[in-house]
Amino acid sequence: RATFLQEYQPPAYFIERTELAFDLYEDYTTVLANLHCLRNADSTADNSLFLHGEELELQSLAIDGRPLAEDEYQISDKGLLIHRVPEQFELSIGTRILPQDNASLEGLYKSNKMFCTQCEAEGFRKITYYLDRPDVMSEFTVTIEAEQARYPVLLSNGNAIHEESLANGRHRVRWHDPHPKPSYLFALVAGDLHYIEDHFHTMGGREVCLRIFVEAKDLGKCQHAMDSLKKSMRWDEEVYGREYDLDIFNIVAVDDFNMGAMENKSLNIFNSSCVLCSPETTTDAGFQTVEAIVAHEYFHNWSGNRVTCRDWFQLSLKEGFTVFRDAEFSADMGSRTVKRVADATVLRSHQFAEDAGPMAHPVRPESFIEISNFYTLTVYEKGAEVVRMIHTLLGAEAFRRGSDLYFERHDGQAVTCEDFVRAMEDASGVDLTQFRRWYSQAGTPLVTVRDDYDAEAERYTLTVTQSCPPTPGQPHKEPMLIPLAMGLLGEAGNLPLKLAGQAPDAETADNTSTVLLLSEPEQHFVFEQVRERPVPSLLRGFSAPVRLDYNYSRAELCALMSRDDDGFVRWDAAQQLALSVLDEIQQQLTDGQEPSVDPLYLDACASLLADTSLDPALVAEMLRLPTESYLAELAAAEGADVELIHRAREALETALAQHAESQWLDAYRRSVVNAPYAPVAEQIAARSLRNLSLYYLACAKAQHIGLAQAQYAAATNMTDRLAALRVISQRGTQQQSDEALDSFYRDWQHDSLVINQWLQLQSAMPGEGALARVRSLMDHEAFDLRNPNKVRALVAGFSNNNSLQFHRPDGAGYAFLAEVIEQLNTRNPQIASRLLNPLTRWRNYRPDRGELMKAQLERLAALPDLSVDVYEVVSKSLQD
Ligand code: ARG
Ligand code: ZN
């Protein structure tokens, strides 16, 4: 049954203080909750009290010390209903739970030998009966008791206020968090943990003790996370004026975790893959992920914790804003353009697909069956783009006034997306009425641009139309307010812009870029004194999450690619050019011709590669071909043909490899990094281009595998080692590939996070044997179905990155995925549900494949014990 935004009711009771006492044992845990409750004077509800609770064994229940008789309450699998409660009372609840058997990784569970929690969104109800909703905020005091030898470290939110050793080999620690918080921000950790420690002086003079807790073996992998944390704390002070508000900040790494990390107040819990790193074991991308996620969780302290969400429909209030904040942080720490390209790529290849699929929902959804299914690219990444557009519309200064007002006005409150937008409006005076549709309308708008140049009048006119396709429950869309950043490119560079009817912008001397505001289904923008026919440079910096349609000629794309001022547009032009060439190759293949690649494209790539004045990271991104899954997504309307896509892409890859072989070799040689490894932009850029060159060289000639083998043997960091291994495993002979993979396993079998990369790499290996390899790896000692990182690496790796083999004509790839989903359905529904994603796209493929995909969804739909998580995705995918 679905929950609706429309049905929101404020809580009938508040819990002003929450006292929890945990007694942790190997075969059970007891939780004693003392809840200081108070009726909400504004509520018109009756005087019964319903508390959420799942998988709990109730042991005692009392109000103000008086045990309740059996007829005074009722228990269901959703919670506890107390028929009558006073205006103000202390409710005492004793429950027993089984964390050691909790495979859902939600609530209190065990990972390796430690206890840990994950409560967002609705996991706290698996710990005790509670008003498990974010608009009930409470001051928590938590007492943890456990065996001292096994669990020397006992952590919760806030400050440790009491510690004692008990006679029986057990010990007890009490924590108090002075900041009222909703239950989803509660955390508890108990284990044999070790830490590194550092300090941060806040701008207001507070000395904060920073600790990262890990297993002893991982102590050497914490420094980068610590550095990232300190940078994040400083950045949030400088850019947003936000200061940390307690004397301690703890991070804990756990191996079994459904998502990346969790922003529990002062006790962030991280998937170990998102916090641990070292040059020997972690790639550049891994280092960047750690930096970004540490920052993301830290930034939540204000955008999420101090100001939280009223209900889960408002999830993007904290997630969209926080992703925007972490993206800007990453842009400031590394290369801004490369970060923007990476984010736009994720959006276009995955979020647009979500927006066009059966699970499409607005940034602020209107209903859900299982909230875990709405931790999506739409809520996170599109939500961040919506905040970015507000930043663009207001300008940096007014945006900062808006965020100051938002934090000041709502500190300590649980609020809505509307409250955020209103603060932005109030602080800036900008009317965001129409802009609000970004929160309520699902689907990706299509912006179509046509132009006309009147040489005589030196007038250039852009005609811009917008539309948005229907999505489930939303057949008709209203026009959006879309900021379209643009410029005009002439022969000698970008032209000064003079929009008709607008005074020239006095403030900016360099007026070659502007933001057009699209608000109508069709609009005209007229530029005066345009002395030559320009090439429009559109959607600069990816200024809005829209599809853009303009009929560029290949020559125009080459011009943008080589000369436009905007890095994003240059990259995008290279992508569009590749897409256009790929289209042509597909046509040739369909007509039974030998593919021939337009030399215009190949020459443009070769000169790009030879231009040493450019940022090597951006060059690498420009020369990376679109993925097969993105190409399938683009072909969805006609029904994607996976084999055709694969053959066309291979043909282009080979042509590009061979045409520019000497340039690849030169790029490979010149971008070697001689300095000791550091995850800094300059080195990352060099390695990125070097490893892409290695890949293309192996595509050009089999003998270049020797370069990869030499690089593999000499590598002193994981970036270079894994890149070489990937090339050998994808392009080498069977024997070369087996030898390298075996030697890698022998070297790294002791390090689970490294082995995940080994699993993921193999999941993407080409050839008929791919599925058999993945199946046999599931029986490998290194695999563990209970560990989400391993499942993601191998199973999601295969279904998402091995398009051709996942979409085998016999349907065996789909059957395999469905089998794994079936196994995880009851054990870990969140992961099972996420694995479904590729199958939900069944309508995008040719009917022969689409029907086979659909058949697996139907098989899953018929399972007797279907979890709500899987049910929601499967049933929505099958709806017509
Ligand atoms: N709030 C966390 C973050 O954005 C994600 C937690 C998601 N948990 C879940 N069960 N879906 O970092
Ligand atoms: Zn988040």
Query: Would you state the pLDDT for residue 505?
Result: 56
Residues 78-111: tens digit of each pLDDT: 999 999 999 999 999 999 999 999 999 999 999 9
- Of the candidates 256, 312, 261, which has an alpha carbon nearest to the alpha carbon of residue 52? 312
Of ligand 1's atoms, which has the minimum distance to the CA of residue 106?
10
- Determine if ligand 1 sits within 6 Å of the CB of residue 259: yes
Cα–Cα distance between 216 and 229 in angstroms, integer?
21
Give the span between the Cα atoms of 238 and 299, in whole angstroms: 13
| pLDDT one-digit tens code per residue, 161-178 | 999 999 999 999 999 999
pLDDT number for residue 844: 98
Residue burial 509-540, b: 16+ Cβ < 10 Å; e: rest: eebbbbbbebeeeebebbbeebeeebbbbbbb
Burial zone of 613 (CB within 10 Å; 0-12 exposed, 13-18 middle, 19+ buried): exposed
pLDDT tens-digit series, residues 283-337: 999 999 999 999 999 999 999 999 999 999 999 999 999 999 999 999 999 999 9
- Nearest ligand 1 atom, CA 123: 10
User: Binning pLDDT at 50, 70 and 90, where does residue 510 land?
Assistant: low
Report helix, strand or coil for 108: strand
What is the dihedral angle through the alpha carbons of 225, 320, 302, 262, rounded to the nearest 10 degrees?
-50
| pLDDT in the model for residue 504 | 61
Residues 6+ apart with CB under 8 A from 739: none
Other CB atoms closer than 10 Å to residue 72's CB: what's the count?
15
Closest residue to atom 2 of ligand 1, CA basis: 262
CA 295 to ligand 2 centroid distance, Å: 10
CA angle 635, 637, 642 (to 5 degrees): 35
Q: 3-class SS at 777?
A: helix
Q: Which ligand is nearest to the CA of 268?
A: 1
- Across 722-746, average pLDDT: 98
Round the average pLDDT of the chain to a whole number and report it.
Answer: 98
C-alpha 326/C-alpha 225 separation (Å) is 14
326 lines ligand 1 (CB under 6 A): no
Report the C-alpha gap between 368 and 204 in whole angstroms: 42
Half-sphere exposure of 326 (CA within 13 A, CB side): 28
Distance 387 CA to ligand 2 centre (A): 14
Percent of the chain with pLDDT over 90: 99
Q: Which ligand minimizes its atom distance to the CA of 293?
A: 1
Distances (CA, A) of 520 to 524, 548, 660: 10, 16, 46
| Per-residue pLDDT tens over the stretch 450-468 | 999 999 999 999 999 999 9
Q: Ligand 1 within 6 A of 297 CB?
A: yes
Query: Is 297 assigned a catalytic role?
Result: yes
* Inter-residue contact 196 to 223 (CB < 8 Å): yes
pLDDT at 248 over 80: yes
Query: Which residue, among 707, 702, 722, 716, has the nearest Cα to 657 in the 3D structure?
Result: 702
Residue 508 has pLDDT above 70, yes or no: no
Atom of ligand 1 nearest to the CA of 260: 12
CA of 259 from ligand 1 middle (Å) equals 6
pLDDT of residue 501: 81
For the cut 60, the answer to whether the pLDDT of residue 569 exceeds it is: yes
**Quick one: CA torsion of 821, 827, 833, 838, rounded to 10 degrees?**
-20
From 19, 120, 297, 385, the catalytic residue = 297
- Under 8 Å between Cβ of 592 and 569: no
Please tell me the distance between residue 260's alpha carbon and the centre of ligand 2 in angstroms.
9
Q: Confirm or reject: Cβ of 120 under 6 Å from ligand 1.
A: yes
- Exposure string of 488-505, with b = 16+ CB inside 10 Å and e = fewer, is bbbeeebbbbbeeeeeee
Percent of the chain with pLDDT over 70: 99
258 C-beta closer than 6 A to ligand 1: yes
Q: Which residue has the tokens 């709500």?
A: 868
Pick the residue whose CA is nearest to atom 8 on ligand 1: 120
**Protein residue with least CA distance to atom 1, ligand 1:** 262
Distance 264 CA to ligand 2 centre (A): 11
For the record, the structure tokens of 849 come out as: 């494949």
Does the pLDDT value for residue 729 go beyond 90?
Answer: yes
Residue nearest to atom 5 of ligand 1 (CA): 262
Distance 298 CA to ligand 2 centre (A): 9
Tens-digit pLDDT profile for residues 253-281: 999 999 999 999 999 999 999 999 999 99
Residue nearest to atom 11 of ligand 1 (CA): 372
pLDDT digits (tens, 9 = 90+) for 179-198: 999 999 999 999 999 999 99
Which atom of ligand 1 lies nearest, measured to the CA of 322?
A: 4
pLDDT score for 280: 98
261 lines ligand 1 (CB under 6 A): yes
Tokens, residue 709: 């083998």
Whether 263 lines ligand 1, by a CB cut-off of 6 Å, is: yes
Q: Which of 122, 325, 375, 868 to mutate to test the pocket of ligand 1 (most atoms within 8 A of CB)?
A: 375
Mean pLDDT, rounded, for 814-821: 98
pLDDT, one tens digit per residue, over 752-766 is 999 999 999 999 999
What is the model's pLDDT at position 662? Answer: 98
pLDDT of residue 502: 75
Give me the mean pLDDT over the 147-151 stretch.
Answer: 98
Beta strands in 3-63 (DSSP E): 3-4, 13-24, 29-39, 49-52, 57-63
Q: Closest Cα to residue 224, out of 680, 676, 715, 674?
A: 680
pLDDT confidence of residue 774: 98
Q: Are 235 and 295 a contacting pair, CB within 8 Å? A: yes
- Residue 319 Cβ inside 6 Å of ligand 1? The answer reads yes
According to DSSP, residue 795 is labeled I
Distance 373 CA to ligand 2 centre (A): 15
Report the run of H or E that residue 724 belongs to, with start and end.
helix 718-731
Q: Check pLDDT > 80 for residue 540.
A: yes
The best mutation among 132, 259, 296, 373 to test binding of ligand 1, ranked by most ligand atoms within 8 Å of the C-beta, falls on 259
pTM, full prediction: 0.98
Ligand 1 contacts CB of residue 375 (under 6 A): yes
- Give the distance (Å) from ligand 2 centre to CA of residue 390: 19
How confident is the model at residue 880, as a pLDDT? 82
